[in-house]
Chain A
Amino acid sequence: DGGITQSPKYLFRKEGQNVTLSCEQNLNHDAMYWYRQDPGQGLRLIYYSQIVNDFQKGDIAEGYSVSREKKESFPLTVTSAQKNPTAFYLCASSARTLLNTEAFFGQGTRLTVV
């Protein structure tokens, strides 16, 4: 079945460590996105990529890094520079078309930094 897979579902890391969240899609979508959700809040855009080997900062990119070496994969690294990394992270993808702008989401990764 086509979809977006995020792994792991739960992740614990010590403060000061970098951690990489995985996101893979087999929908043949060009665009991929990373969002962050904090308790009681909406989704905020961290980074997005419209095509392989290209990505742009979203609204809250500080302390994060990404890569887009393959169309199917868009990993997110939460670095030690991110002041409040504990959150629920959501990856999404969408087709690169004028007509269809619906984004499909993965099941999310809950990152807890202790």
Chain B
Amino acid sequence: DQQVKQNSPSLSVQEGRISILNCDYTNSMFDYFLWYKKYPAEGPTFLISISSIKDKNEDGRFTVFLNKSAKHLSLHIVPSQPGDSAVYFCAASVIQAAGNKLTFGGGTRVLVKP
């Protein structure tokens, strides 16, 4: 049973426009959410996160929105740049004193066209 789902495997967007990536989760215990960016044959790099006590977190061109009632989060990239072309993973965890396990979605491949 996939607890974190990214239903769009790919997304194509024109440079300068907005990229919107979506993620749904089923486990109501998740209280911390992260987005990672990954290039081929490299490890994921952290982009932005949000705690369940917030509904929005912004960092430069990246904004993450959380809708707890719908168990849905989204990542907005504005404006999109060609260097943003990569695979983006949504991840979720339950914050606990003993560290955390991240549960990942399947990823969304973003292509930003010049």
Q: Contact residues of A with B, CB < 8 Å?
A: 4, 6, 30-31, 33, 35, 40-45, 48, 50-51, 58, 88, 90, 92, 94-96, 98, 101-108, 110
Binds A, one of B11-19, B58-66, B71-79, B97-105: B97-105
Query: Which residues on A sit within 8 Å (CB–CB) of B95?
Result: 98, 101
Please tell me if the beta carbons of B41 and A108 are within 8 angstroms of each other in the complex: yes
Also in contact, A102 and B103, with CB within 8 A (given A42-B89, A110-B41): no
Partner of B32, one of A6, A40, A43, A101: A101
Please report whether the interface of chain B is mostly helix, strand, loop or mixed according to DSSP: loop
Q: Is the CB of A41 within 8 A of B106?
A: yes
Residue ID in chain B nearest A45 by CB atoms: B101
- CB-CB contacts below 8 Å: B1-59 with A: 4, 6, 9, 32, 34, 36, 41-46, 49
Please give, as numbers and ranges, the residues of chain A lying within 8 Å of B96 by CB-CB distance: 98
Contacts A31-B99, A98-B97 given; does A42 touch B43 at CB 8 Å:
no
Q: Which of B42, B45, B97, B100 has the most CB of A within 10 A?
A: B100
Q: Which residues of B contact A (CB under 8 A)?
A: 4, 6, 9, 32, 34, 36, 41-46, 49, 89, 93, 95-107
Question: Which B residues lie within 8 Å of A105 (CB)?
Answer: 36, 43-45
Considering the chains assembled together, what is the distance between the CA atoms of A42 and B89 in angstroms?
7
For B42, the chain A residues whose CB sits under 8 A away are 107-108
Q: Give, as a whole number of angstroms, the nearest-CB distance from A36 to chain B.
A: 11
Most buried by B among A41, A44, A103: A103
For B49, the chain A residues whose CB sits under 8 A away are: 101-102
A41 touches which one: B34, B93, B102, B107 (CB < 8 A)? B107
- Cβ contact within 8 Å between A101 and B100: yes
